[in-house]
Structure 1
Amino acid sequence: MFTALRRVYIGSISGEAFEVSRQTIESVQILRFIAALIVVLDHCTFVGKMIAARSNTPFHFPMFPGRLGVDIFFIISGFIMVYISSDGGRWTITPAAFFQNRWIRIAPIYLVATILYVALYFLAGNFERWSLLQYLTSALFIPYFDEVTKLPFPILGQGWTLCFEMFFYSIFAIALNLPRRASLVFLCVVFFSLVLVGLIWNFVSGSVFVLTPMPTRADFIVPRFWLHSIILEFLAGILLAMLREHIMARHQLWSFAFPISVCLAIIVAYILQANLTDDYLKPFPSLIRFSCALSVVAICVLTTSKNRSAWLQNMLVFLGGCSYSLYLFHPHVIFLMDSLWKRLGALADIKAFVVVGTLLSILVSVAVYLSLETRMIRLFNTMRPKIAKASQAYAAEASKTLSSHQLASPPEG
Structure 2
Amino acid sequence: MLSNLQVLRGIAALGVVFFHTGYKFAGDWHTEFFGVSTFFVISGFIMCFITRKGADDFLAKRLERIAPLYWLCTAVLLVVMFGSALLEAATWAKPLDGRSSEPLWAYVGRSLMFAPIGDKYPILNVGWSLNYEVYFYLIFAAALAISRRLAPLIVVGCLVALNYAAAAVCTAAACHYLSFDYTQFFIAGIAIFYALQVFAPAAPQRSIVWIGAALVTLCYGSQFVGPLWANSVTPSVYMALAAAAPVVIVASALFVEYAGGAITWQPLILIGDASYAIYLTHPIVFEVMKTSNERWLQLPTPEASTMMMLCYVAIAGGAGIIVHLTIENPLLRVIRRRRQPGIKTRVSGSGLDAVGRQHQAA
Deviations 1:232-290 (A, max 9, x none): 21011011111112235x53673555655641332121452258759x9x765332211
Q: Give yes or no for contact 2:166–2:175 (8 Å, CA) kept in 1.
A: no
Say whether 1:182 aligns with 2:155.
Answer: no
Greater relative contact order (Cα < 8 A, sep 6+) = 2
Calculate the aligned-residue CA RMSD, in Å. Answer: 3.0
Pairing of 1:7-406 with structure 2 (within 5 A): 23=1, 25-45=2-22, 63-66=29-32, 68-87=34-53, 92-94=54-56, 97-123=57-83, 127=91, 129=96, 131-145=104-118, 151-200=119-168, 221-248=173-200, 250-251=201-202, 254-255=205-206, 257=209, 259=212, 262-273=215-226, 284-304=237-257, 306=260, 313-344=265-296, 347-348=299-300, 350-351=304-305, 352-385=307-340
Distance 2:223 2:14 in 1: 15
Q: CA deviation at 1:308?
A: 5.4
Give the unaligned 5+ runs of structure 2: 97-102, 342-362
Give the Cα–Cα distance (whole angstroms) in 2 for the partners of residues 379 and 136 of structure 1: 25
Cα 1:85/1:31, change in 2 over 3 Å: same
For the pair shown, which has the larger CA radius of gyration, 1 or 2?
Answer: 1
Q: Show CA shifts across 1:206-242 (max 9, x none).
A: xxxxxxxxxxxxxx82342112232121011011111
Matched AA of 2:253 = C
Q: Calculate percent identity across the aligned residue pairs.
A: 23
Cα deviation 1:27-49 (Å, max 9, x = unaligned): 1111111111111111011xx69
- What do the CA deviations read for 1:332-355 (whole angstroms, capped 9, x no partner)? 111011112212575536414322
Q: For residues 283-332 of structure 1, what are the alpha-carbon distances to aligned partners after superposition, in whole Å with 9 as ceiling and x for unaligned?
A: 6533221111111111011222645586xx22111211111111100001
Quick one: distance in 1 between partners of 2:250 and 2:165? 28
Structure 1 unmatched ranges of 5 or more: 1-22, 50-58, 146-150, 206-219, 387-413
1:172 to partner: Cα distance:
0.5
For the 8 Å contact 1:38–1:64, the answer to whether it is kept is no
Normalising by structure 1, report the TM-score. Answer: 0.70
Provide the C-alpha distance between the structure 1 equivalents of 2:230 and 2:209, rounded to a whole number of angstroms: 33
**C-alpha distance in structure 2 between counterparts of 1:381 and 1:114, whole Å:** 22
Q: Answer whether contact 1:35 1:73 (CA < 8 A) is retained.
A: yes
* In 2, Cα distance between equivalents of 1:236 and 1:328: 24
Within 1, Cα distance between the matches of 2:337 and 2:284? 29
CA spacing shift, 1:303–1:199, aligned 2, 3 Å: same
- 1:133 is displaced (CA, Å) by 1.3
Q: TM-score scaled to structure 2, two decimals?
A: 0.79
Kept in 2, the 8 Å contact 1:138–1:155? The answer is yes
Tell me, yes or no, if the aligned pair for 1:26 and 1:317 is still in contact at 8 Å.
yes
Is the CA contact 1:104–1:380 (under 8 Å) kept in the aligned structure 2?
Answer: yes
Distance 1:336 1:260, change over 3 A: farther
Contact kept, 8 Å, 1:253 with 1:303, in 2: the verdict is: no
Write the distance in 2 (CA, Å) between the matches of 1:261 and 1:37.
21
CA distance in 2, matches of 1:134, 1:284: 39
Contact 2:4 2:263 (8 Å CA) reproduced: no
CA change 1:243–1:308 in 2 (3 A) is: closer
After superposition, give the CA deviation of every residue in 1:51-84 in whole Å (9 maximum; x if it has no partner): xxxxxxxx97964423821111100000011111
Q: In the aligned structure 1, how far is the partner of 2:327 from the partner of 2:237? A: 41
In structure 2, the residue matched to 1:208 is none
Change (3 A) 1:254 1:83: farther
Cα deviation, 1:1-23, whole Å, max 9, x if unaligned, reads xxxxxxxxxxxxxxxxxxxxxx3
TM-superposed CA distance for 1:173, in Å, is: 0.7
Q: In 2 relative to 1, CA 274–71 (structure 1 residues): closer, same or farther, beyond 3 Å? A: farther
